[in-house]
Amino acid sequence: MLRLGAVSYLNTKPLIHTLAEQLGSKGTLSVDLPSRLASDLAAGRLDVALIPSVEYFRGQGYQIVSDAAIGCRGPVWSVRLLSRVPVPEIRTLALDEGSRTSAAMVQVLLHEMHGLRPSTVPMEIDQTVDDVDADAILMIGDRAMHPASGVYHEIWDLGDRWCRWTELPFVFAMWVARPGVEVTGLSEILESSRDVGIEHFESIAAAHAATHGLTKEDLHRYFAENLHFQLGPGERRGLESFRQRATAIGLVPDLNVTTTAYKRSLGSDNDHDLH
């Protein structure tokens, strides 16, 4: 049986809503933090995992196994930069410790848009923004979706900033297999689970909204308008652009990623229409 792992965040709910059921005897599903999933995949404790895109870049011989993914084509709501100073004056940046991909994303944008390389400090899961001594703070997930306390010069929705700056979608996470894992038939299951989840946004939102301090309507809108769950040609170009940009400033290693296997996993579709 295949051992699958998924991120334990709200944005994964539509992808895994019926996944355990659809896997049946083909595999098992567990949920955990992104960093633990990446470690378990690298160590062989998982065969396939929904991991952050940065962890895919850092892996060796990993293969994207499905076009089910988590991305955005504009404002994402759940990934924000809160700046206490004008953005060009940011010298210290607090990074939500739950984030790896968004941490790289914000550093790429600050560098490219303003020539900044701020020093970084961690923001722990149990800390509030008032506890953090930094010019700017990256917040992700549930706590980024609530109104920010404090006074800020600028608040960025990083999905919106990325898509406007690069004119490409952004991919936060996708299903990846470690080398040597037999995944025949798995993509169809992952994509079917995604499709069922999309059809049931309303019931998924009703089940999870209150426990995250959101209304059902807000969470439904988040799934339907802020997130995109398909790894299409535009997303693949956005993923490759992110890898190149993050590599250029030393956030991910240059692992000879122009290999045939990497190109095949990203696809070779030349369609330039993001929609």
pLDDT tens per residue, range 152-171 = 999 999 999 999 999 999 99
Mean pLDDT of 169-193: 97
Domain boundary among 166, 181, 197: 166
Q: 161 and 198 share a domain?
A: no
Asked whether residue 50 is domain-assigned, the answer is yes
> For residue 146, is pLDDT > 90?
no
**Boundary-marking domain end, from 121, 144, 166:** 166
Structure confidence at residue 241 (pLDDT): 98
Answer yes or no: do 86 and 213 share one domain. Answer: no
pLDDT tens for residues 229-240? 999 999 999 999
More confident residue, 33 or 81: 81
Q: Between residues 269 and 252, which one has the greater pLDDT?
A: 252
Number of domains in the chain: 2
- pLDDT band for position 256 (50/70/90)? low
Q: Which of the pair, 150 or 175, is modelled with greater confidence? A: 175
Predicted local confidence at residue 99, as pLDDT: 82
The Cβ-side half-sphere exposure at 107, using a 13 Å CA radius, reads 26
Same domain, 95 and 160: yes
Residues 259, 224: Cα–Cα separation, whole Å: 35
Answer with the residue of higher pLDDT: 125 or 132. Answer: 132
Q: What is the mean pLDDT of residues 123-127?
A: 86
Q: How far apart are the first and last CA of the chain?
A: 37
21-79 confidence digits (pLDDT tens): 999 999 999 999 887 898 999 999 999 999 999 999 999 899 999 999 999 999 999 99
- Given 166, 199, 227, the domain boundary residue is 166
Q: Which residue has the higher pLDDT, 147 or 55?
A: 55
Domain membership of residue 108 as a residue range: 79-166
| Residue showing tokens 């960093």 | 35
d(CA 103, CA 189): 31
273 domain residue, yes or no? no
Indicate if 138 and 180 belong to the same structural domain.
Answer: no
Whole-number Å distance between alpha carbons of 155 and 162 = 14
Dihedral of the alpha carbons of 125, 128, 132, 134, in degrees to the nearest 10? 100
pLDDT given for residue 174 in this prediction:
96
Alpha carbon 150 to chain centroid, angstroms: 26
Percent of the chain surpassing pLDDT 90: 79
- Better pLDDT: 261 or 10: 10
Q: Which of 139-148, 151-160, 171-180 is the least confident region?
A: 139-148
Residues 43, 6 share a domain: yes
